[in-house]
């Protein structure tokens, strides 16, 4: 009843502010919406697999709204970060994830929070899907004391439970992820680790070293290559002798998945997770995706690709639009409801940005803390021999 | 022979008996066995501890340090890796992130350069970057520094390289007591520890007391030990060179020079207090290390002495005895002249004391 009233009043408010002709007011209740629908999803390319994930995906209204909200939150958060960076409130490196939202959200849809995940530096989206809040993510970007890493880490070094960052060295996160997977197996849990890397990182030697050990030891790891077509300014054709990243694991079974479709990503992840949990060892997923921004905020992103290309992806393959269209055309949500979510998300981001710009910077006392764990306090040499600072665990 | 010498050095005058029966309260243990026993006990004590590295399992360890462990603990806890340092060091660090307590062996520390990014950027810095959220309870261990005839690529000392980095603990044992107590401490430490052994010390026996053989015997990381009391000059050293300092001290004692020998035991955090106290007592300092001079351990010690209260007690500038500033040659005569010898220590002491 309350919801219906809100819907009606929102529409009326909308019609009052519009100078145009009268608007058809329609009130909808929950009973009017389709609780779930099944969608055809793109077939997945397979490597060393007889069968792949299903060709259809059933989406509940609840999940649809959740995915929509989360993807929209990531999108808005990244755009706000862009703004704050241009105002010089965020400094250093800032690698934005807008365009790739379906990957982070779809992956999380296929695993649980008791599973583990590690990625590289384009990590704000994952920090959110793994349990971080927009507030603490933005405050970390602005380097404040309430940041998720208390301002000590910045954009590339955010951590939360079962999320191991945020890693700045290209490719290093992949063996780390295999180590987490080793721990899962060692401790006898049925948890797995998702270890992400990009098309640029895919040529790193340590990744091949990891493929080898993960296979030898049958570690429960899902390798995921987020192929957004460009490693910084170098297109995939210029960097890789083979751009079939899902086959690069050689002896490891692989899937190539449409990374712009959250349902595709989810079904593929579920499939991969089953593979791992049944003790078969590692599996590799290539997610074909796209980033709207340049590599980082210092890259306009148009010297190595055309604006037309970016615009084409935005208009034809945007992950949020795709989900929205699906839900609307199947009567799983209303335009107003989704607009409502947009407004709530915008507010959340505004509040978080406000917080992130007003929260104080970390205290200087904290400068030398967190060098060692579980250690009594000790002296740290400052910039001069007379500057004696203290480190607390 | 080594234990005979150590008895002589310490100035004890009672009769030496080589004790082999079980009623003994001292045990002859070489450094290799001390390391082996320490790992065995820690593997038994905590199920989360495991060992990985090249040839550590079925081969019993390239230098036999992990002899018998695979037979006792099996594939799950003693893991042979392929020859992929960067990969397996990363895996070890990731396992530490997720709650295990890995011991990652580098066959020699020279090969750690393949994996140094994982040691520094993934292990050392993570606790700080995460503001105390993510601990990394890992031990990296293996033989460091010069060996015998293994030439340039297999003879480098990494004490200065790793000692440079905040977030790491860097330990360099000399004798069996050090090896045992420090390795146990390192494994029990919740922080990343770089454990620098010495291949030439593996076969050297030392006496361990019953107390030292206790399964909870640990030596605190970050504390140096005065191995020999002296009054005229302080010799500060780590690893194998501690033995050379004691030998030099024995020779100098005959000429009336009493050297105080400080065994650093830990490179980082450096026990400046013990060094300063010693220098303030003796008034003279010579550092001795196997590594190269430029930007080395001795350089750091001298700088700290300059910057601290001990400077005013120096009667002469502090000097360093180091490895020669060249890649290690192969021919024996050249190799012998590339590392600090006892005569170099004696010569330096006499120079500093203006003898």
Partner B contacted by A179 (CB < 8 A): yes
Check residue B23 and give its pLDDT.
55
Q: Tell me, what DSSP letter sits at residue A45?
A: E
Cβ neighbors of B348 (< 8 A, separation 6 or more) are B286, B319, B321
Query: Token pair of A258, please?
Result: 């449409």
Q: What number of CA atoms fall less than 13 Å from residue A391's CA on the CB side?
A: 22
Asked if B95 and A183 come within 8 Å (Cβ–Cβ), the reply is yes
d(CA B195, CA B172) in angstroms, rounded, equals 6
**Pairing mode of beta strands A221-227, A230-231:** unpaired
Catalytic positions of B: 85, 154
Does the distance separating the beta carbons of A180 and B88 come in below 8 Å?
no
Residue found under tokens 């010498």: B5
**The predicted structure's pLDDT at residue A18:** 43
- Determine the pLDDT at residue B14: 46
Taking the mean position of all CA atoms in its chain, how far away is CA B156?
14
Q: How many CB atoms lie within 10 A of CB A342?
A: 17
ipTM for the complex?
Answer: 0.91
The answer to whether the CB of A219 falls within 8 A of the CB of A249 is no
Give chain A positions within 8 Å (CB) of B133: 149, 159-160
Confidence bin at A4 (pLDDT 50/70/90): low
Residue whose tokens read 């665990």: A393
Per residue in B47-71, pLDDT (tens digit) is 999 999 999 999 999 999 999 999 9
**Measured between alpha carbons, how far is A136 from A158 in angstroms, rounded to an integer?**
10
Q: What is the pLDDT of residues A335-367, one digit of tens each?
A: 999 999 999 999 999 999 999 999 999 999 999
Tokens of A216: 């030898």
Q: Encoding tokens for residue B112? A: 């750690």
Domain boundaries along the sequence of chain B: 29-213, 225-353
pLDDT at B25: 85
CA angle B319, B322, B325 (to 5 degrees): 115
The SS3 of residue A145 is coil
Q: Is the pTM of this model over 0.80?
A: yes
Whether the predicted pLDDT of A33 surpasses 90: yes
Q: What is the CATH number of domain B225-353?
A: 3.40.50.920
Parts of chain B with a pLDDT under 70: 1-24
Residues of B whose CB is below 8 A from A204: none
Best of A151, A207, A209 to substitute, by most chain B Cβ atoms within 10 angstroms, is A209
Sequence-distant (≥ 6) Cβ neighbours of residue B34 within 8 angstroms: B176, B177, B179, B180, B183, B206, B208
Q: How many residues does chain A have?
A: 393
* Cβ atoms of A197 and A224 closer than 8 Å: yes
Residues in CB range of A174: below 8 A, 6 or more apart: A195, A197, A201, A204, A206, A207, A210, A223, B90
* A159, A169, A183 member nearest B98 (Cβ): A183
**What is the rounded distance in angstroms from the CA atom of residue B128 to the CA atom of residue B135?**
9
Q: What is the pLDDT of residue B17?
A: 47
Encode pLDDT of A214-258 as tens digits. Answer: 999 999 999 999 999 999 999 999 999 999 999 999 999 999 999
* Nearest CA among A219, A93, A106 for reference residue A158: A93
Q: How far apart are CA B173 and CA B239, in angstroms?
A: 5
| The CATH fold of domain B29-213 | Rossmann fold (3.40.50)
B91–A213 C-beta distance less than 8 A:
yes
Q: Work out the average pLDDT over A378-383.
A: 96
Query: Given this model, what pLDDT does residue A16 score?
Result: 43
Give me the sign of the Cα torsion angle B234, B238, B240, B241. Answer: negative
Cβ(B191)–Cβ(B221) below 8 Å: no
**HSE toward the beta carbon, residue B244, CA cutoff 13 A:** 24
Whether A209 has its CB under 8 Å from any CB of chain B: the answer is: yes
Using one digit for the tens of pLDDT, what is the confidence trace for A98-126?
999 999 999 999 999 999 999 999 999 99
Q: Widest CA span of chain B, in angstroms? A: 60
Quote the CA–CA distance of A145 and B152 in Å, as a whole number: 48
Distance from A369 to chain B by nearest Cα, in Å? Answer: 7
Strands B319-321 and B193-197: unpaired
Chain B residue numbers touching A116 (CB-CB < 8 A): 98
Domains B29-213 and B225-353 share a fold: yes
Q: Which of residues 208-247 of B touch A (CB under 8 A)?
A: none
Q: How many CA atoms lie within 13 Å of A94's alpha carbon, on the beta-carbon side? A: 26
């Amino acid at each position: 009843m309350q919801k219906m009233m809100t819907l009606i009043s929102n529409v009326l408010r909308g019609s009052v502010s519009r100078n145009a002709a009268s608007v058809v007011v329609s009130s909808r209740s929950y009973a009017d919406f389709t609780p779930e629908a099944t969608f055809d999803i793109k077939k997945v390319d397979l490597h060393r697999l007889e069968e792949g994930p299903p060709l259809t995906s059933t989406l509940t209204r609840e999940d649809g709204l959740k995915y929509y909200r989360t993807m929209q939150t990531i999108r808005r958060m990244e755009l706000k970060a862009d703004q704050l960076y241009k105002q010089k409130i965020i400094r250093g490196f800032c690698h934005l994830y807008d365009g790739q939202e379906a990957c982070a959200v779809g992956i999380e849809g296929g695993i649980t929070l008791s599973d583990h995940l590690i990625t590289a530096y384009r990590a704000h989206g994952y920090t959110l899907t793994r349990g971080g809040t927009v507030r603490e993510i933005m405050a970390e970007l602005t380097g404040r004391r309430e940041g998720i890493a208390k301002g000590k880490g910045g954009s590339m070094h955010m951590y939360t439970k079962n999320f191991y960052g945020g890693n700045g060295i290209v490719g290093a996160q992949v063996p780390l992820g295999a180590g987490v997977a080793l721990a899962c197996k060692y401790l006898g849990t049925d948890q797995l680790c998702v270890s992400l890397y990009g098309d640029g990182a895919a040529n790193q030697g340590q990744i091949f070293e990891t493929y080898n050990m993960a296979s030898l030891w049958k570690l429960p790891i899902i390798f995921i290559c987020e192929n957004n077509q460009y490693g910084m300014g170098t297109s995939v054709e210029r960097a890789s002798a083979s751009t079939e990243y899902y086959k690069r694991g050689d002896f490891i079974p692989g899937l190539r998945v449409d990374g712009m479709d959250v349902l595709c990503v989810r079904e593929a992840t579920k499939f991969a997770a089953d593979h791992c949990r049944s003790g078969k060892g590692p599996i590799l997923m290539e997610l074909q995706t796209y980033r709207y921004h340049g590599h980082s905020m210092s890259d306009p992103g148009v010297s190595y690709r055309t604006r037309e290309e970016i615009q084409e992806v935005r208009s034809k393959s945007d992950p949020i639009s795709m989900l929205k269209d699906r839900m609307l055309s199947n009567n799983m949500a209303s335009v107003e409801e989704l607009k409502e979510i947009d407004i709530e998300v915008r507010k959340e981001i505004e509040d978080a940005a406000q917080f992130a710009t007003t929260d104080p910077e970390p205290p200087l006392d904290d400068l030398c803390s967190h060098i060692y764990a579980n250690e009594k306090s000790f002296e740290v040499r400052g910039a001069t021999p007379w500057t004696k600072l203290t480190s607390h665990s | 022979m080594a234990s005979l010498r150590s008895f002589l050095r310490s100035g004890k005058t009672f009769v030496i008996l080589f004790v082999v029966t079980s009623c003994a309260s001292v045990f002859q243990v070489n450094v290799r066995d001390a390391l082996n026993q320490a790992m065995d006990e820690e593997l038994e004590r905590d199920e989360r501890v495991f060992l990985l590295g090249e040839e550590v399992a079925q081969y019993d360890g390239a230098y036999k340090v992990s002899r018998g462990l695979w037979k006792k603990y099996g594939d799950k806890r003693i893991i042979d890796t392929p020859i992929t340092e960067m990969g397996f060091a990363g895996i070890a660090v990731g396992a530490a992130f997720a709650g295990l307590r890995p011991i990652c062996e580098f066959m020699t520390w020279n090969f750690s350069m393949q994996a140094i990014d994982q040691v520094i950027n993934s292990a050392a810095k993570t606790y700080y970057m995460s503001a105390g959220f993510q601990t990394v309870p890992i031990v990296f261990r293996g033989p460091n520094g010069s060996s015998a005839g293994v030439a340039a690529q297999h003879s480098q000392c990494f004490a200065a390289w790793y000692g440079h980095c905040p977030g790491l603990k860097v330990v360099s044992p000399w004798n069996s007591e050090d090896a045992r107590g420090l390795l146990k401490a390192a494994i029990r430490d919740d922080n990343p520890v770089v454990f620098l052994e010495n291949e030439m010390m593996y076969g050297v026996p030392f006496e361990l007391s019953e107390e030292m053989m206790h399964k909870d015997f640990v030596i605190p990381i970050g504390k140096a030990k005065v191995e020999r009391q002296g009054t005229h000059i302080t010799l500060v050293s780590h690893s194998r060179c501690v033995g050379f300092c004691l030998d030099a001290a024995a020779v100098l004692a005959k000429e009336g020079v009493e050297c105080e020998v400080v065994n650093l035991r830990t490179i980082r955090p450096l026990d400046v207090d013990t060094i300063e106290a010693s220098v303030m007592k003796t008034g003279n300092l010579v550092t001795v290390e196997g590594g190269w001079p430029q930007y080395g351990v001795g350089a750091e010690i001298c700088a700290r002495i300059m910057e601290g209260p001990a400077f005013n007690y120096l009667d002469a500038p502090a000097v360093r005895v180091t490895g020669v500033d060249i890649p290690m040659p192969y021919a024996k005569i050249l190799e012998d002249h590339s590392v600090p010898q006892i005569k170099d220590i004696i010569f330096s002491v006499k120079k500093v004391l203006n003898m």
